[in-house]
């Protein structure tokens, strides 16, 4: 089966709803869980399903994503496996950049046509989930479908944010509506499992995960040159003319669409039994192998905290935190409900001393700080006695060193917060 499938991961647009995390990087390159990148999730799902031919389509702020993929995914010289970048490129017959999900794939068809495959698996680069794609592909083959869409049951309050569909008794899709208004929802309930019904999850939402038969994909994209998006145009236009199948998934899945969803997805990893399971050997999340020392912790009370490699922590207390690689935290500091992305380098003792001599905090978090409800992006320099108290009492705003969204304080990558800095209201 693996030789019959080509996987295509969409790098996404400018990612404005994830700003400032996407100020200098694309959405799939945003760090998650302290040591991975978002793009590692769909790539790992492919590799765990023995799907080893993967293209990643990139366009916006793609340098760090390209570097991560180049440094991470290496295969034997005797293998046909690859994870390759296909960057947006202007050509004599197409002078535009990617205009949407369908247009991105359309512009790369000339690269895909050189490969032998029967099915194209199209994925998003900014979702958090663990799915065995082999089950979806087998379902597609057995039902002799032309197109398959992964769907997930959602509540009514979520349904207005997704493409919602209805199926017949054979799981083929009979109708589709994009982001239906609340008053239309009663007509869009679907047959779901008893467990989903009990939870009130009675609407089938598209997960943005598709399987296309190869020739049909080429035909649809070639014959509809004005259609730029799969979810808004290609899929709805195909329901009456082709066999479009629903593959219902009931596991954990979240679309990292904004700061709030990103924040909750990461802090959810600190739960006693997290919905996204990093500890399942059968669903390994692959990423760049870094030769880092183990974390070193002294005098710190830890409660529901995930700590990555190479950290030096002398804090008083960490509660419900995700702590990324190479994070340094000083004495007397308390941090709660926060995601610290970590650092790209270690500073030497001389470099730390020189920084302090110049009145600049070293990379990391200083002594006697209080941080709550925050995301600290990479390489931030936070001085001593800094106080950050995010929450619903704060108004949204974008400032030089930080951004506030939905009560979450996001300290920007490389920002310098001097001793005594306060962000409280």
- CA pair distance 193, 205, nearest whole angstrom: 15
Q: What is the pLDDT of residues 341-368, one digit of tens each?
A: 999 999 999 999 998 888 899 999 999 9
**How many C-beta atoms surround the C-beta of residue 273 within 10 A?**
5
Which of the two residues, 338 and 195, has the higher pLDDT score? 338
What does the pLDDT average to over 410-416? 96
Q: Do the domains 292-423 and 2-257 match in fold?
A: no
3-state secondary structure the chain: CHHHEEEEEECCCCCHHHCCCCCCCCHHHCEECCCEECCHHHHHHHHHCCCCEEEEEECCCCHHHHHHHHHHCCCCCCCCCEEEEEECCCECCECCCCCCHHHHHHCCHHHHCCCCCCEEEEEECCEEECCCHHHHHHHHHHCCCCEEEEEEEECHHHHCCCEEEEECCCCEEEEEEECCCHHHHHHHCCCCCHHHHHCCCCEEEEEEEEEEEHHHHHHHHHHCCCCCCHHHHHHHHHCCCCCEEEEECCCCEEECCCHHHHHHHHHHHHCCCCCCCCCCHHHCCCCCCCCCCCCEECCCEEEEEEECCCCEECCCEEEEEEECCCCEECCCCEEEEEEECCCCCCCCHHHHHHHHHCCCCCCEECCCCEEEEEEECCCCEECCCCEEECCCCCCCEECCCEEEECCEEEECCCCEECCCCEECC
Instruction: Check whether 217 has a pLDDT greater than 60.
Output: yes
Please give the pLDDT value at position 286. 93
pLDDT at 371: 98
Is the per-residue pLDDT at 12 higher than 90? no
Banded pLDDT at 108 (limits 50, 70, 90): confident
- Split at pLDDT 50, 70, 90, the class of 336 is very high
For tokens 């040159």, name the residue.
225
pLDDT at 77 over 90: no
Residue that wins the pLDDT comparison between 253 and 2: 253
In the predicted structure, residue 96 carries a pLDDT above the cut 70: no
CB 48 within 8 A of CB 163: no
Rg of the Cα atoms in the chain: 23
Higher pLDDT, 102 or 346: 346
Average pLDDT over residues 376-385: 97
Q: Give the residue among 63, 67, 43, 44 at the shortest CA–CA distance from 54.
A: 43
Question: Of 43-57, 278-292, 376-390, which gets the smallest average pLDDT?
Answer: 278-292
Contact (CB, 8 A) for 201 and 158: no
Per residue in 113-129, pLDDT tens? Answer: 888 999 999 999 889 99
Q: Tell which residue, 398, 405, 149, 76, has the closest CA to residue 261.
A: 405
* pLDDT confidence band for 388 (50 / 70 / 90): very high
User: Averaged over 207-221, what is the pLDDT?
Assistant: 94
Block residue for tokens 């995390």: 21
Q: Which CATH superfamily is domain 2-257 in?
A: Spore Coat Polysaccharide Biosynthesis Protein SpsA; Chain A (3.90.550.10)
Task: Return the pLDDT at 89.
Answer: 59
pLDDT for the residue numbered 91: 59
The string of pLDDT tens digits covering residues 228-239 is: 889 888 998 899
First to last CA, the chain: 56
Q: Name the average pLDDT for the chain.
A: 91
What pLDDT was estimated at residue 3? 81
pLDDT of residue 47: 96
Q: Where are the domains of the chain?
A: 2-257, 292-423
Q: Which long-range contacts (CB under 8 A, 24 or more apart) does 354-361 make?
A: 355/381, 359/418, 360/416, 361/416, 361/417, 361/418, 361/419
Mean pLDDT, residues 144-165 taken together: 93
Which residues does 230 contact at the CB level (< 8 Å), separation at least 6?
A: 100, 101, 102, 122, 208, 210
Calculate mean pLDDT across residues 169-177.
91
d(CA 137, CA 49): 10
- What is the predicted pLDDT for the residue at 285? 94
Residue 58, pLDDT > 90, answer no
User: Which tokens belong to 211?
Assistant: 């399987």
Q: Taking 70 as the threshold, does the pLDDT of residue 255 lie above it?
A: yes
Evaluate if residue 41 carries a pLDDT over 70.
yes
Provide CATH code, domain 292-423.
Answer: 2.160.10.10
Question: Has residue 92 got a pLDDT over 60?
Answer: no
């Amino acid at each position: 089966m693996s030789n019959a499938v080509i996987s295509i991961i969409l790098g996404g647009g400018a990612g404005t709803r994830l700003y400032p995390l996407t100020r200098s990087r694309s959405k799939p390159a945003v760090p998650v869980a302290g040591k991975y990148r978002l793009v590692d999730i769909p790539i790992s799902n492919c590799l765990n399903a023995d799907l080893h031919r993967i293209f990643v389509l990139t366009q916006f702020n793609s340098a760090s994503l390209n570097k991560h993929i180049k440094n991470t995914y290496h295969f034997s010289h005797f293998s046909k496996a690859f994870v390759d970048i296909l960057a947006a490129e202007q050509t004599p017959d197409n002078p535009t950049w990617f205009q949407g999900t369908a247009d991105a794939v359309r512009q790369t068809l000339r690269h895909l046509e050189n490969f032998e495959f029967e099915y194209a698996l199209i994925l998003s680069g900014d979702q958090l989930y663990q799915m065995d794609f082999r089950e979806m592909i087998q379902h597609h083959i057995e039902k002799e479908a032309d197109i398959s869409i992964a769907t997930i049951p959602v509540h009514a309050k979520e349904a207005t944010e997704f493409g919602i569909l209805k199926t017949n008794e054979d799981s083929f899709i009979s109708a589709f509506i994009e982001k239906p208004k609340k008053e239309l929802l009663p007509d869009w309930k679907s047959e779901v499992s008893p467990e989903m019904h009990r939870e009130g999850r009675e609407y089938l939402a598209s997960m943005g995960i598709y399987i296309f038969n190869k020739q049909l994909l080429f035909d649809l994209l070639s014959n509809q040159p004005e259609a730029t998006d799969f979810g808004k145009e290609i899929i709805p236009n195909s329901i009456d003319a082709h066999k479009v199948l629903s593959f219902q998934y009931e596991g954990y899945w979240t679309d990292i669409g904004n700061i709030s969803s990103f924040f909750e997805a990461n802090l959810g990893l600190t739960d006693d039994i997290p919905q996204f399971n990093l500890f399942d050997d059968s669903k390994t999340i692959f990423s760049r192998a870094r030769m880092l020392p183990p974390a070193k912790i002294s005098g710190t009370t830890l409660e529901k905290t995930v700590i990555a490699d190479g950290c030096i922590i002398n804090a008083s207390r960490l509660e419900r935190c995700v702590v990324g690689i190479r994070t340094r935290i000083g004495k007397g500091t308390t941090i709660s409900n926060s995601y610290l992305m970590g650092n790209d380098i270690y500073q030497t003792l001389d470099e730390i001393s020189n920084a302090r001599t110049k009145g600049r905090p070293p990379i990391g978090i200083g002594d006697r700080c209080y941080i709550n409800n925050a995301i600290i992006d990479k390489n931030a320099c936070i001085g001593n006695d800094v106080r950050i108290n995010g929450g619903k009492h704060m108004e949204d705003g974008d400032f030089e060193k930080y951004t506030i969204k939905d009560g979450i304080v996001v300290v920007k990558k490389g920002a310098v917060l001097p001793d005594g800095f306060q962000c409280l209201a």
